Structure 1
């Protein structure tokens, strides 16, 4: 299985498009050109234009913020964190930059720094659902599931019909093996936003848990249909294919996912599962041991280590 890439749910939905009176200035024109490149799905070119704007004005908040978002999209987390930090150096209470830097720290594995940003955000905007949502995301990464669930509930108190929060709450119930409660939250989320691919990814995870691998494949195909660019969907599909006996197709998906994110422990584990079923137990064990050293509680790893060590 793979965890939801929770930070992706709404990170890139709102990039500021500026048309105010500074659009005739040089930096404003570069900013607008960068936004146009984003519309054309050319993030590298967008970065170049935002960087040109910042050569004109190194403190240009709009360019720093938008460039930081694109860096985040490309998983260039150190650069994203740097841009959001530059915004916060000028305005430590900037809620947009606090949220995004918190997500950046979280995705970079710097959980305590992320938590500091979430605390600042809660202090700045205690009645914002996003403040509690970020706290929940970070606590989940830290595997503090009860407090993460409480944070998501606080977020839903402020915005009850938010599908993003509901999906993440459903995911936490999944981690806690509370599958019926997970289904309840995901049903509500689907009614609110039936085109959200993470809904079907989670349904696939639940189907896998019940050993209905064919149904898991149906659901993950729906996720990929809705968002063919999300690498961890392919990793999940690869796992389901292995359990259905389609080993080479599974490996192809897992390798594709690893190419996008070589640090994905779920994909490394799944590659070990592939080699286990191909009869290469010693090679499989190297993958399982690598994952175990970094996350000994990751699902299925201990089971497969035991299977590999059986005579």
Structure 2
């Protein structure tokens, strides 16, 4: 139900934009710039070709490894991206942006403790950079160390108060801690900073759902979708709210749409289980809920609806 973060800053991280190609003999620099042009054209495959040419000239060229890693990210090749970022760091041990991007990649790859190591390195390299604390917060959130995550996001926000994402992250942690009033208060601040932030409205919808205000939840998530139609978890949440508003078939369509967009979201599978419980289909409900109860025993609603399925 939460947004993915790894590519959040992708457009900001292309290295080499300040490179000055001051001589015809600087072939590796020209290849780097050509690769960047291909990235600007949303052509990561050909961009990697140019970065590879630069690396043939200089196998220690950290910026080329870094940009090549970002091209791998565009193609959802996390392991390859991590490999290139590690090489970028090997030849430039204080490469802040490479540590930051590698930490984000580790998070998406489920390697939370490696991400924590990179976050710690970022704090050592630049404690006054908000991204150091942002990555720390993301890691502690994944490890369910919510007070530590909240502290890190608050520190990041104090450094960069104009970033609405950091406020939404704080509000999300408070939501996990079931402090809905505190979460709503932070969301109000985020709305004042950036009223066009879709994740703000999605989280608002989740708070309404927990408060059993299903119509309000639906309106809020529809606002999120109107601002960003690419997020699978928005459609999944809308589908769940429709189940509770006695519109099961429309709800199921949206849940299935969410699964097509992101097959790895266990919350969508849970919601399908809830749908089948509501339809009185015990066998189908148990297919989803029994497995989820084993893999994610703390997931909200799973235990409740598994018991209902077993009682059918």
The reply to whether TM is greater than 0.5 is yes
Q: Who is 1:110 aligned against?
A: 111
* Alignment CA distance shift 1:306-1:50 (3 Å): farther
Q: Deviations over 1:172-229 (max 9, x none)?
A: 0111111111111111112212222211111121222222223222222222222222
Between stretches 194-203 and 54-63, larger displacement belongs to: 54-63
5+ residue gaps, structure 1: none
Aligned: 1:121 with 2:122 = yes
CA distance in 1, matches of 2:113, 2:244: 37
List gaps (5 residues or longer) in structure 2: none
- Distance in 2 (CA, whole Å) between partners of 1:151 and 1:5 is 18
After TM superposition, list the pairs within 5 Å mapping 1:238-277 onto structure 2: 238-277=239-278
Is the contact between residue 163 and residue 192 of structure 1 (CA under 8 Å) also seen in structure 2? Answer: yes
Corresponding position of 1:10? 9
The 1:200–1:11 alpha-carbon spacing in structure 2 relative to 1, beyond 3 Å, is farther
Structure 1 equivalent of residue 232 of structure 2? 231
Shift of 1:78: 1.4
> Which string of whole-angstrom CA distances, capped at 9 and with x for unpartnered residues, describes residues 137-167 of structure 1?
1111111111111112222333333322111
For 2:94 and 2:147, how far apart are their aligned partners in 1?
28
Q: CA offset at residue 274 of structure 1?
A: 2.4
> Compared with structure 1, are the counterparts of its residues 17 and 252 closer, same or farther at alpha carbon in structure 2 (3 Å cutoff)?
farther
Where does residue 20 of structure 1 map in the other structure? 19
TM normalised by structure 1 equals: 0.88
CA-based RMSD of the aligned residues comes to 2.6
Query: What is aligned with 2:213?
Result: 212
More displaced, 2-11 or 18-27? Answer: 18-27
Structure 2 CA distance, aligned partners of 1:47 and 1:240? 43
Equivalent-residue separation in structure 1 for 2:287 and 2:73 (angstroms): 31
Residues 237/98 of structure 1: CA separation in 2 closer, same or farther (3 Å cut): same
- Given that 1:179 and 1:206 are in contact with CA atoms closer than 8 Å, whether structure 2 keeps it comes out as yes
Give aligned pairs, total. Answer: 310
Partner of residue 98, structure 1: 99
Could you say which residue in structure 1 is the equivalent of 2:304?
A: 303
The alignment's TM-score, normalised by the length of structure 2, stands at 0.87
Q: Distance in 2 between matches of 1:80 and 1:216?
A: 38
Deviates more, 1:93-102 or 1:218-227: 218-227
Cα contact 1:12–1:69 (8 A) shared by 2: no
